[in-house]
């Protein structure tokens, strides 16, 4: 075998989550009343634009979650695998990963950021900005050729982006035309008139903007360090892309871990009242009075000791880093289930008095069956809203934790790590700003689109928010 599949803890959970989402989607499709609010989400232009951007992040995150160890040699008929664990994404971005500079260089630079002594071929030494090993190394005369080369590559990128966009748009139209039993042309015109139920125009425009920005970046990345390099010469663009997975994993797995606690305890407290409620309330009141950072710091320290004492369990550094990430998710989950639990308790308190539950009690239906059949399905909208709203908060929390020093493993790239290292870079003279800027832009884009999507979901699911659409009769007066 040319590779050995490595399934890290978080990978496994990510794929379990993916499967769960797929099953849920299948279930929703079959039940009209469940699908109705999702159709409302699909009709929201801002929600769909955000979903398009999120899809891009998720695609990168998933590609970065398929890990393997490549075979480096064959010994005695057995393959020997590299110590380094790579992901599919690493393979795709191999040039970004391997072409390292020595130290800082500015975005798109051909020379290093600071002067150094260079030994000329004739033995003299000068202090100058040395040429980079990879960034713009193909240019014969960097001063004269740089601008035309960058422009040319940008154009190439945009051209390639347009082709991709047209292919995707045509596929979409063809797909819609098949579904709607019309021809592609009609669908195309309907989309641009804004006449489709799902705002495909918004989706296509968002996709266009994404490709217009993304493809020149990718085109340039082949020969330059588009977003510069960091202290050890690693490409910042690559780091930013790698951070996406960390952010996504923290944002989703944490919720996955906390959900069972929150749902079970919340509904039980609300439904049973009495001493069950007292105990659960006592637990979460205590838990939420301990400062979260303190709890997490303590847990991370405990975990570090564990890793050091059981080093045989962790073959590679990435496995260690991953275990730490998993543990962080777990502990964040423990610290954050209380909010949702409170909400669900309130909701269950209200529901337990409702007449259909009284009717079920009159039939002697068992308590846990009532919780499972009557209460949980009726609080799912609260769960869903809080899950999507929590996501962005957790991504941001990771950044804060890294800054405090209890975040993910230093060897694992994350937005928090990038921001943390930028602390020193910003103090340098001349200032190194691109690390922070890259982390900021990527994180902003991800959190903003997650928030917009969460808004669309909340609007669709929250029963209190009715379609408060302003009256649009002016055009329809008889």
User: Per the omega criterion (within 30 degrees of 0), is the bond before 430 cis?
Assistant: yes
Give least dist CB 345 to another protein, A. Answer: 17
Virtual CA dihedral for 277, 280, 284, 285, nearest 10 degrees?
Answer: 50
Rule CB under 8 A: say whether 354 interacts with another protein. yes
Q: How far is the CB of 357 from another protein (least distance, A)?
A: 8
Under rule CB under 8 A, residue 430 binds another protein: no
- Using alpha carbons only, give the angle 93, 94, 97 rounded to the nearest 5 degrees: 90
Q: Which residue number, 2 or 274, has a Cβ lying nearer to another protein?
A: 274
Contact between 475 and another protein per CB under 8 A: no
* Number of residues located near another protein, criterion CB under 8 A: 30
Figure out which of the listed residues 363, 427, 429, 464 binds another protein, where binding follows CB under 8 A.
363
Q: How far apart are CA 327 and CA 197, in angstroms?
A: 43
Q: Does 359 bind another protein (CB under 8 A)?
A: yes
Region near another protein per CB under 8 A, out of 14-22, 84-92, 435-443, 462-470: 462-470
| Residue 115: Cβ within 10 Å count | 12
Which one, 74 or 475, has the nearer CB to another protein?
475
Work out whether 138 is an interface residue with another protein (CB under 8 A).
no
Q: Which is nearer to another protein, 125 or 354 (CB)?
A: 354
Shortest Å, Cβ 365 to another protein? 4
Q: Contact letters (x/-) for another protein, 366-405, by CB under 8 A? A: x--x---xx--xx---------------------------
Judged by beta carbon, residue 140 or residue 476, the one nearer another protein is 476
Answer whether 326's CB lies under 8 Å from 333's CB.
Answer: no
| Contact flags string 30-69 toward another protein, x per CB under 8 A | --xx------------------------------------
The binding site for another protein (CB under 8 A) comprises 32-33, 354-356, 358-366, 369, 373-374, 377-378, 466-473, 476-478
């Amino acid at each position: 075998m040319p590779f050995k599949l490595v399934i890290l803890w978080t990978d496994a959970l990510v794929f379990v989550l993916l499967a769960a989402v797929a099953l849920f989607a299948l279930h929703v499709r079959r039940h009209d009343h469940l699908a109705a609010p999702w159709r409302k989400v699909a009709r929201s232009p801002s929600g769909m634009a955000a979903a398009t951007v999120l899809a891009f992040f998720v695609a990168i995150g998933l590609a970065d979650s398929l890990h393997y160890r490549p075979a480096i040699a064959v010994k005695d008929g057995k393959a020997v695998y590299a110590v380094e664990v790579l992901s599919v994404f690493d393979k795709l971005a191999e040039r970004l990963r391997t072409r390292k500079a020595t130290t800082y260089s500015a975005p798109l630079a051909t020379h290093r950021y600071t002067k150094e002594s260079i030994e000329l071929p004739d033995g003299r030494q000068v202090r100058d900005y040395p040429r980079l090993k990879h960034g713009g190394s193909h240019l014969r005369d960097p001063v004269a050729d740089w601008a035309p080369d960058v422009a040319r590559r940008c154009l190439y990128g945009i051209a390639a982006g347009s082709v991709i966009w047209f292919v995707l748009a045509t596929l979409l139209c063809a797909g819609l035309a098949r579904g709607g039993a019309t021809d592609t042309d009609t669908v195309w015109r309907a989309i641009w008139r804004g006449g489709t139920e799902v705002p495909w125009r918004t989706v296509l425009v968002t996709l266009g903007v994404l490709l217009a920005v993304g493809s020149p970046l990718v085109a340039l990345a082949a020969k330059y360090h588009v977003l510069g390099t960091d202290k050890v010469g690693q490409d910042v663009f690559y780091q930013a892309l790698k951070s996406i997975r960390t952010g996504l994993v923290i944002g989703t797995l944490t919720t996955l871990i906390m959900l069972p606690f929150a749902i079970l305890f919340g509904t039980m407290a609300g439904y049973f009242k009495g001493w069950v409620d007292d105990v659960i309330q006592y637990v979460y009141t205590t838990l939420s009075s301990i400062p979260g950072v303190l709890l997490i710091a303590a847990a991370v320290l405990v975990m570090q000791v564990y890793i050091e004492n059981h080093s045989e369990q962790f073959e590679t550094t990435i496995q260690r880093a991953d275990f730490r990430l998993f543990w962080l998710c777990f502990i964040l989950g423990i610290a954050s289930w209380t909010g949702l639990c409170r909400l669900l308790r309130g909701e269950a308190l209200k529901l337990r008095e409702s007449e259909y539950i009284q009717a079920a009690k009159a039939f002697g239906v068992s308590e846990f069956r009532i919780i499972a059949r009557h209460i949980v399905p009726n609080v799912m909208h609260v769960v869903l809203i809080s899950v999507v709203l929590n996501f962005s908060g957790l991504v941001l929390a990771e950044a804060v934790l890294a800054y405090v020093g209890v975040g993910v493993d230093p060897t694992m790239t994350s937005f928090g790590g990038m921001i943390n290292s930028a602390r020193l870079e910003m103090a340098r003279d001349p200032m190194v700003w691109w690390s922070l800027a890259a982390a900021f832009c990527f994180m902003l884009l991800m959190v903003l689109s997650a928030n917009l999507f969460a808004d669309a979901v909340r609007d669709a699911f929250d029963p209190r928010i009715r379609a408060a659409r302003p009256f649009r009769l002016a055009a329809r007066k008889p």
